[in-house]
């Protein structure tokens, strides 16, 4: 299959570039190279297994794993109607209707879904896409190689990262390939194929909206450039009609394609295309002057009416306005103020500049060159690259996470630039001026050089300038070194930065050997073995999926952040005093509370460092009861030591984190190694919770929620009585008596 | 062998049931074991009801409430002692621990002997307060016994208490009251906090007050401990685990002397017999779980819809399902389980709740037998999916707490449980639209295929 397609798509250039060499040999070589690329792509994703062990990484994969287990155990229809009563206690989650089932169904169908395997397919898809863009044979192979090992994509598809993105990026690239193919051929068949894979993409990842917006945008730009064609009409309408129907089959998407603003561009362009087609038809049967008048009046009226209808329906509530997540794409400060829950995720932060270089290395500077090359020969598909490049870059700059959608186009464009460079400079033959055969053999750039011949002196005599062995050797040598450095960089980044499972931490012992810190799994195992099957665990939502997956216990909130109020409730319980938190925990039937504390080990991703987000999210719902300001000292510092504010010291989170912590140290020496501060000698007092478990390095601390006091006292009084203190005289000598009312 | 064992077990269970619903080991703590002769009738009654009574003094070395972490006794009865403390075996913490371990305590106090500090500390944890300096005597100048306390007015004569309020079963009055009086000699009054676990059984009349006979013999000080209805003479506490504690303000009430005494109220026409013996039986019966004990025999809920499996106690329902919930309950009456009848003007309620109740329904008795009553109700589940509880939270004075929670998940409609599109009349225009489009397109295709182009058709085809 792979062989056939490869031959197919590259056949046009075969005829151009084939000089005496056997076609079958080239095909064989190409297949071999692609196989090697796939091999390299897969093996570079196995660092995590070698470094740690075969374990599921991060957070979301734990849910995917659980969902897949459910699917395999109960079959597809039960999965489709799955009501999950072990998360979001006591609300439950209509999981079957609120997930993207693509990954689970894929892995059920193929017995196992192994994300690295999909990276091989992604590389192949990048190869196909690039071949649509250029006639240069090597560009596709380079793109495949880039796609295979670039860290920007590896970050989400290492072994153990059982996540939607693993298959979604393959589908993204492949859908774009099919779209370009359909557009080029104006074929209903390819358009339908494109819609099919678009449907698969919708089933797999929420990022499908990227396709939903990019394809119409491409079509719109083409129309604006005066490039309307029946090919465009056929491919777009086929894709839109079938793709939308396909996407509506996913319960989570449902009627969103006709009801939300994110999907409106696709619908709008669909209508616009009908108009344009109609106008083209009218133009063919009307005279020029009549047509002009018709165009202005008719088009203006229709456009105005459509816009009015959109505004009216949006304000009437039929069409949902842009969601907060989308606003945060335009205004990076928006989320922090209005939707802290989105801003609190590290993946949703704006990208730092070094991250581009870190994830893409040399591709990031080859990328603009590739985009520039597209302008050289601006066909419809090159417009796509330009549009994609512009949008992808913008979004990648706004959100770290969207680096993933930028990566494919960077690989394609960079491969075009690199192959252009290499094929220009690796060619031993020098062109003979005015030789038509040579002109064919060499590439676009040589034409360019000739076109620019008058401008630069050095290019006037090509034999001394560009075509000398010296310059060829130098440029190709440097390029080779760059490519080798790129491979080194990718390998290093993959093995060091993107292969840690985050459930297991690694540290170095003084003698250089690796020490594994396994507190998370220790704690989850404890929960699994020591608590009731239906013991409800309250923790911050980051750990919800892991508790569900590893400890198999119901949680209050998890990484599927569908209910902001419920998360805010947990935030309120964590950030309020015990007296306020206890009734909340009772109401939600919480049995255990789990906190992550890094103070002993210096693990900075702990709950005290995330605490302000909990406060902010809770404040969003209960501004009267929780106030972020109260967690800062009058001088505006966020402190946890003796100078911490009373609100901070009384908050449940603070108490749970530092409970009994001072006993580990000699008096006066208690230290928090994350915040780097010395703690007071007397630790916090907990009345409503009992410490149940603390992991080896104190990273995870689990507390049991006490029952109501058996004889009706409040917990503080009961605890003080248990410690042997006598109750103070309850009846006051002065003041009015409190009388019993029956 | 197994059957023999089962038989023996059942036999033992039957024997154990014959007295109290929660065990028969009763510890009586006295100043001196010889004192028990004063209470021979009272203690004899208890033994007659099947209690295995052990007598200990607070100082006894062998006295231990717990053995290897288990309770050594089911119930404790304290008579007044002289010592200020009760020793290391009966500290306040141990008493609270005993209650937390489902043990029952009857505490008989007396105005003549100071209450021990351990008892005072334990009571103050329960929000029951005794007069300061541990002494206080309740007197009433309008309700005293003229024969025995003509001078001191410290033998109160009270009618039997009656129901606490409408809807609360009266456990402490004789079945047929005919004007007998309760003699409460030398009582120490208690002041109760506002906790819902406390219930006064016998309150002092509005004309009574408490004073300190040592310091205030001549004139009352400024600081009156309490007066009137705020003084409780007999107080009951039922902890959340249904362990019971009764504070009896007057230990003398239980003595032989007052069991058969004839008393005459001030202004009363003739001397009448006291009802102390009956009252003592009922107070001990309640404290030691012989009456006012409810038992849930079984709970069942099922789907109440035609064509469904209607299996018992499913784990999951769907929104808007019709559901039947039933609960069978019995009440323990001295030596046997009887059908539980909810007192008039009270209700047994079922809550169907997630975070807060979505339904709160009264259960109606459906089946009644000798031993049990079945209460049930039908209702439609709310249009809200989630993890719900069928919750019975029946907490009434003098009945033990019934808190039953059955968790079920309520799921959303499955994809194939919605009505079909043709069943919805509003969808007919759309269905007609689809039909029109399909037929129209078929016609178009048919015409396109079968109409032979004329004239220039040939060239079009090649194009």
Please check whether residue A504 lies inside any domain of the structure: no
Please check whether residue B8 lies inside any domain of the structure: no
Q: How far is B132 from chain A (nearest CA, A)?
A: 10
- What is the CATH number for B299? 2.60.40.10
Nearest to A81 among B100, B386, B414 (CB): B414
Q: A9 pLDDT exceeds 80?
A: no
The answer to whether the Cβ–Cβ distance between A534 and B197 falls below 8 Å is: no
The answer to whether the Cβ–Cβ distance between A709 and B386 falls below 8 Å is: no
Q: Does A714 touch chain B (CB under 8 A)?
A: no
Residues A24 and A152 in one domain: yes
B365 φ, ψ (degrees, to nearest 5): -65, 130
Residue after which a domain boundary falls, among A401, A421, A441: A421
Please identify among residues 93-122 of chain B the ones whose CB lies closer than 8 Å to any CB of chain A. Answer: 93, 96, 99-100, 121
Residues B162 and B220 in one domain: yes
Pairing of strands B66-67, B52-56: unpaired
Residues A154 and A213 in one domain: yes
Distance CA B111, CA B114 (A): 7
Please check whether residue B281 lies inside any domain of the structure: yes
B338, B371 Cβ separation under 8 angstroms:
yes
Residues A41 and A170 in one domain: yes
Please check whether residue B421 lies inside any domain of the structure: no
Confidence of residue A456 (pLDDT cuts 50, 70, 90): low
Tell me which residue of B424, B112, B49 sits closest to B250, measured CA to CA.
B112
Residues A394 and A465 in one domain: no
Residues B318 and B452 in one domain: no
Candidates A83, A88, A739, partner chain B, best to mutate (most B CBs within 10 A): A83
The answer to whether the Cβ–Cβ distance between B93 and A80 falls below 8 Å is: no
Residues B351 and B452 in one domain: no
Nearest to B193 among A85, A90, A740 (CB): A740
Residues B235 and B374 in one domain: no
Range in A92-96, A620-624, B389-393 with the lowest mean pLDDT: A92-96
Asked, as a colleague might, if the bond just before A90 is cis with ω within 30 of 0, I would say yes
Pairing of strands B244-248, B104-108: parallel
Please check whether residue A34 lies inside any domain of the structure: yes
Residues A438 and A364 in one domain: no
Q: Does A734 touch chain B (CB under 8 A)?
A: no
The answer to whether the Cβ–Cβ distance between B354 and A742 falls below 8 Å is: no
Please identify among residues 36-55 of chain B the ones whose CB lies closer than 8 Å to any CB of chain A. Answer: none
The answer to whether the Cβ–Cβ distance between B192 and A710 falls below 8 Å is: no
Residue after which a domain boundary falls, among B267, B289, B311: B289
- The fraction of chain A above a pLDDT of 70, given in percent, is 88
Q: Does B240 touch chain A (CB under 8 A)?
A: yes
Residues B327 and B196 in one domain: no
Task: For residue B416, list chain A residues with Cβ-Cβ distance below 8 A.
Answer: 77
Q: Does A565 touch chain B (CB under 8 A)?
A: no
A464-A469-A474 Cα angle (round to 5) = 105
The answer to whether the Cβ–Cβ distance between B386 and A77 falls below 8 Å is: no
Residues B180 and B102 in one domain: yes
Which 3-state string (H, E, C) describes A307-346? HHHHHHHHHHCCCECCCHHHHHHHCCCHHHHHCHHHHCCH
Residues B213 and B298 in one domain: no
Into how many domains does chain B fold? Answer: 3
Residues A564 and A461 in one domain: no
In DSSP terms, B405 is beta-bridged to B391
Interface pTM (ipTM) of the complex? Answer: 0.87
- What is the CATH number for A713? 3.40.50.12610
Please check whether residue B404 lies inside any domain of the structure: yes
Per-residue pLDDT tens digits of chain B, which is 463 residues long: 445 555 555 445 444 445 788 889 999 999 888 888 889 999 999 999 999 999 998 888 888 999 998 999 999 999 998 888 888 888 999 999 999 999 999 999 998 888 888 899 999 999 998 887 767 889 999 988 888 888 888 899 988 888 888 888 889 888 777 777 889 999 999 999 888 899 999 999 999 998 888 777 777 777 788 888 899 999 999 999 999 999 999 999 999 989 888 888 887 778 888 889 999 999 999 999 999 999 999 999 999 887 766 788 999 999 999 999 999 999 999 889 999 999 888 999 999 999 999 999 999 999 999 999 999 999 999 999 999 999 999 999 999 999 999 999 999 999 888 889 899 999 999 999 999 999 999 999 999 898 877 765 444 444 3
Residues B359 and B449 in one domain: no
The answer to whether the Cβ–Cβ distance between B165 and A742 falls below 8 Å is: yes
Into how many domains does chain A fold? Answer: 4
Q: Does A741 touch chain B (CB under 8 A)?
A: yes
Please identify among residues 85-104 of chain A the ones whose CB lies closer than 8 Å to any CB of chain B. Answer: 85, 89-92, 94, 97
Q: A311 pLDDT exceeds 50?
A: yes
Residues A589 and A642 in one domain: yes
Q: Does B16 touch chain A (CB under 8 A)?
A: no
Q: How far apart are the first and last CA of chain A?
A: 85
Residue after which a domain boundary falls, among A358, A389, A421: A421
Nearest to A738 among B194, B355, B409 (CB): B194
Residues A464 and A590 in one domain: no
Pairing of strands B316-318, B322-333: unpaired
Residues A295 and A164 in one domain: no
A331: left (phi over 0), alpha (psi -120 to 50) or beta: beta
Residue after which a domain boundary falls, among B263, B289, B315: B289
Closest residue, chain A, to B353 (C-alpha): A90
Please check whether residue A539 lies inside any domain of the structure: yes
Q: In terms of residue numbers, what domain contains B341?
A: 293-411
The answer to whether the Cβ–Cβ distance between B411 and A83 falls below 8 Å is: yes
Task: For residue B96, list chain A residues with Cβ-Cβ distance below 8 A.
Answer: 711, 721
Distance CA B73, CA A654 (A): 43
Please check whether residue A735 lies inside any domain of the structure: no
Residue after which a domain boundary falls, among A399, A421, A443: A421
pLDDT tens for residues A634-658? Answer: 999 999 988 899 999 999 999 999 9
Closest residue, chain B, to A81 (C-alpha): B414
Please check whether residue A501 lies inside any domain of the structure: no
B367, B357 Cβ separation under 8 angstroms:
no
Q: How far is B249 from chain A (nearest CA, A)?
A: 18
Q: How far is A354 from chain B (nearest CA, A)?
A: 46
> How many A×B Cβ pairs under 8 Å?
100
Residues B208 and B341 in one domain: no
Q: Does B380 touch chain A (CB under 8 A)?
A: no
Residues A368 and A283 in one domain: no
pLDDT tens for residues A360-419? Answer: 888 999 999 999 999 988 899 999 999 999 999 998 988 888 889 999 999 999 999 999
Distance CA B376, CA B17 (A): 28
The answer to whether the Cβ–Cβ distance between A711 and B239 falls below 8 Å is: yes
Nearest to B125 among A85, A727, A737 (CB): A727
Closest residue, chain B, to A588 (C-alpha): B355
What's the Cα-to-Cα distance from A198 to each of A195, A339, B203, rounded to whole Å? 5, 30, 80
Q: Does A533 touch chain B (CB under 8 A)?
A: no
Q: In terms of residue numbers, what domain contains A581?
A: 517-722
Closest residue, chain A, to B229 (C-alpha): A740
The answer to whether the Cβ–Cβ distance between A721 and B125 falls below 8 Å is: yes
For residue B70, count other CB atoms closer than 10 A to its CB: 7
Q: What's the whole-model pTM score?
A: 0.85
Please check whether residue B14 lies inside any domain of the structure: no
Residues B116 and B70 in one domain: yes
Residues B258 and B350 in one domain: no
The answer to whether the Cβ–Cβ distance between A726 and B121 falls below 8 Å is: yes
Residues B448 and B386 in one domain: no
Confidence of residue A454 (pLDDT cuts 50, 70, 90): very low
The two tokens of residue B187 are 């009582």
Please check whether residue B416 lies inside any domain of the structure: no
Q: Does A295 touch chain B (CB under 8 A)?
A: no
For tokens 């034999």, the residue is: A463
Residues A294 and A331 in one domain: no
Candidates A85, A706, A723, partner chain B, best to mutate (most B CBs within 10 A): A85
Task: For residue B191, list chain A residues with Cβ-Cβ distance below 8 A.
Answer: 731, 740
Residues A57 and A91 in one domain: yes
Confidence of residue A349 (pLDDT cuts 50, 70, 90): confident
pLDDT tens for residues A181-217? Answer: 999 999 999 999 999 999 999 999 988 999 999 999 9
Q: Give me the count of residues in chain B.
A: 463
The answer to whether the Cβ–Cβ distance between A712 and B129 falls below 8 Å is: no
The answer to whether the Cβ–Cβ distance between A588 and B316 falls below 8 Å is: no
Nearest to B192 among A587, A733, A740 (CB): A740
Range in A47-51, A290-294, A729-733 with the lowest mean pLDDT: A729-733
Please check whether residue B224 lies inside any domain of the structure: yes
The answer to whether the Cβ–Cβ distance between A738 and B223 falls below 8 Å is: no
């Amino acid at each position: 299959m792979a062989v056939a397609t490869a031959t197919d798509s590259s056949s046009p250039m075969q005829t151009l570039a084939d000089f005496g060499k056997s076609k079958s040999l080239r095909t064989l070589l190409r297949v071999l190279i692609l196989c090697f690329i796939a091999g390299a792509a897969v093996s570079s994703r196995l660092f995590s297994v070698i470094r740690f062990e075969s374990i599921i990484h991060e957070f979301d994969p734990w849910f995917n794993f659980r969902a897949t287990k459910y699917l395999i155990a109960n079959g597809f229809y039960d999965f489709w109607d799955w009501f999950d009563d072990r998360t979001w206690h006591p609300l439950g989650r209509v999981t079957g209707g609120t997930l993207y089932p693509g990954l689970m169904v894929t892995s059920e169908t193929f017995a196992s879904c192994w994300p690295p395997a999909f990276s091989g397919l992604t590389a192949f898809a990048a190869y196909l896409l690039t071949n649509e863009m250029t006639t240069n044979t090597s560009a596709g192979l380079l793109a495949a190689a880039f796609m295979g090992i670039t860290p920007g994509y590896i970050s989400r598809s290492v072994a153990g990262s059982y996540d939607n993105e693993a298959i979604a990026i393959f589908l993204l690239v492949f859908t774009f390939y099919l779209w370009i193919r359909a557009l080029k051929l104006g074929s209903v068949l390819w358009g339908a194929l494109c819609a099919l894979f678009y449907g698969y993409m919708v089933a797999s990842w929420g990022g499908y909206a990227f396709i939903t917006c990019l394809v119409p945008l491409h079509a719109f730009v083409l129309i604006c450039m005066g490039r309307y064609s029946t090919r465009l009409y056929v491919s777009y309408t086929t894709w839109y009609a079938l793709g939308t129907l396909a996407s509506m089959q996913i319960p989570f998407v449902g009627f969103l394609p006709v009801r939300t603003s994110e999907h409106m561009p696709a619908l709008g362009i669909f209508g616009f295309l009908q108009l344009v087609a109609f106008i083209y038809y009218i133009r063919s049967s009307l005279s020029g002057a009549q047509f002009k008048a018709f165009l202005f009046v008719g088009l203006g009226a229709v456009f105005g009416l459509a816009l009015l209808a959109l505004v009216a329906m949006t304000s009437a509530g039929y069409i949902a306005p842009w969601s907060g997540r989308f606003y945060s794409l335009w205004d990076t400060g928006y989320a922090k103020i209005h939707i802290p829950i989105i801003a609190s995720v590290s993946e949703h932060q704006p990208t730092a500049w070094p991250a581009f270089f870190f994830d893409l290395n040399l591709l990031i500077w080859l990328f603009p060159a590739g985009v520039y090359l597209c302008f050289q020969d601006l066909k419809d598909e090159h417009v796509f690259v330009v549009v994609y490049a512009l949008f992808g870059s913008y979004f990648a700059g706004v959100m770290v996470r969207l680096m993933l959608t930028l990566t494919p186009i960077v690989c394609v464009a960079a491969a075009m630039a690199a192959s252009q460079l290499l094929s220009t400079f690796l060619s031993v033959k020098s062109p003979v001026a005015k030789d038509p055969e040579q002109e064919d053999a060499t590439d676009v750039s040589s034409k360019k050089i000739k076109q620019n011949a008058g401008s630069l002196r050095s290019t006037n005599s090509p034999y001394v300038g560009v075509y000398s062995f010296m310059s060829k050797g130098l440029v190709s040598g440097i390029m080779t070194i760059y490519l080798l450095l790129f491979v080194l960089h990718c390998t290093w980044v993959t093995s060091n930065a993107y292969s840690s499972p985050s459930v297991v931490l690694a540290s170095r012992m003084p003698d250089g050997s690796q020490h594994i810190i396994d507190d998370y799994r220790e704690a989850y195992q404890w929960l699994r073995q020591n608590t009731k099957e239906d013991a409800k665990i309250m923790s911050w939502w980051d750990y919800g999926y892991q508790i569900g997956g590893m400890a198999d216990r119901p949680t209050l909130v998890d990484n599927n952040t569908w209910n902001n109020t419920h998360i805010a409730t947990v935030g309120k319980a964590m950030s309020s005093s015990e007296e306020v938190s206890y009734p909340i925990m009772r109401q939600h039937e919480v049995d255990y509370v789990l906190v992550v504390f890094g103070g002993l080990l210096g693990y900075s991703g702990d709950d005290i460092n995330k605490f302000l987000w909990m406060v902010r999210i809770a404040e969003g719902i209960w501004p009267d009861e929780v106030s972020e300001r109260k967690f800062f000292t009058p001088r505006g510092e966020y402190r946890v030591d003796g100078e911490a504010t009373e609100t901070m010291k009384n908050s449940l989170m603070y108490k749970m984190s530092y409970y009994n912590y001072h006993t580990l140290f000699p008096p006066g020496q208690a230290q928090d190694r994350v915040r780097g501060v010395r703690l007071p000698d007397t630790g916090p007092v907990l009345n409503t919770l009992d410490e149940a478990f603390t992991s080896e390095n104190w990273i995870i601390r689990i507390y049991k929620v006490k029952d109501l006091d058996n004889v009706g006292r409040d917990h503080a009084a009961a605890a003080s009585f248990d410690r042997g203190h006598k109750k103070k005289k309850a009846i006051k000598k002065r003041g009015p008596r409190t009388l019993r009312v029956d | 062998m197994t059957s023999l064992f089962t038989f023996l077990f059942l036999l033992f269970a039957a024997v154990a049931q014959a007295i109290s619903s929660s065990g028969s080991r009763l510890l009586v703590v006295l100043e001196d074991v010889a004192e028990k002769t004063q209470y021979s009738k009272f203690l004899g009654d208890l033994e007659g009801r099947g209690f295995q009574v052990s007598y200990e003094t607070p100082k006894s070395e062998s006295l231990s409430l717990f053995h290897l972490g288990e309770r050594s006794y089911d119930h404790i009865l304290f008579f007044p002692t002289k010592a200020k403390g009760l020793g290391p075996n009966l500290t306040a913490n141990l008493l609270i621990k005993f209650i937390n371990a489902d043990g029952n305590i009857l505490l008989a106090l007396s105005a003549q002997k100071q209450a021990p500090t351990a008892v005072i500390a334990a009571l103050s944890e329960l929000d029951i307060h005794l007069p300061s300096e541990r002494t206080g005597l309740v007197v009433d100048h309008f309700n005293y016994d003229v024969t025995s306390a003509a001078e001191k007015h410290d033998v109160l004569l009270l009618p039997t208490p009656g129901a606490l309020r409408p809807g609360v079963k009266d456990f402490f009055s004789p079945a047929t009251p005919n004007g007998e009086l309760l003699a409460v000699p030398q009582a120490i009054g208690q002041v109760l906090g506002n906790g819902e676990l406390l219930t006064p059984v016998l309150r002092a009349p509005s004309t009574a007050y408490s004073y300190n006979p040592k310091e205030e013999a001549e004139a009352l000080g400024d600081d009156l401990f309490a007066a009137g209805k705020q003084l409780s003479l007999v107080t009951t506490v039922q902890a959340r685990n249904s362990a019971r504690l009764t504070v009896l303000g007057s230990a003398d009430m239980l003595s032989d002397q007052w069991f058969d005494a004839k008393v005459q109220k001030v202004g009363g026409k003739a001397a009448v017999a006291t009802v102390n013996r009956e009252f003592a039986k009922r107070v001990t019966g309640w404290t030691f779980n012989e009456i006012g004990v409810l038992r849930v025999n079984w709970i069942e809920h099922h789907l109440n819809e035609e064509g469904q499996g209607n299996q018992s106690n499913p784990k999951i329902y769907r929104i808007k399902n019709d559901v039947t919930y039933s609960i069978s309950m019995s009440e323990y009456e001295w030596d046997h389980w009887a059908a539980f009848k909810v007192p008039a003007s009270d209700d047994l309620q079922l809550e169907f709740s997630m975070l807060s109740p979505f339904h709160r329904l009264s259960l109606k008795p459906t089946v009644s037998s000798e031993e049990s009553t079945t209460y049930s109700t039908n209702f439609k589940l709310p249009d809200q999916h989630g993890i719900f509880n069928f919750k019975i939270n029946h907490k009434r004075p003098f009945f033990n707490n019934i808190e039953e929670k059955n968790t079920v998940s309520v799921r959303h409609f499955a994809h194939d449980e919605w009505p079909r599109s043709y069943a919805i009349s509003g969808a007919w225009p759309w269905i007609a639209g689809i039909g029109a489009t399909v037929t129209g397109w078929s016609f178009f295709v048919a015409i396109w295929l079968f109409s032979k182009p004329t004239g220039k058709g040939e060239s079009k085809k090649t194009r």
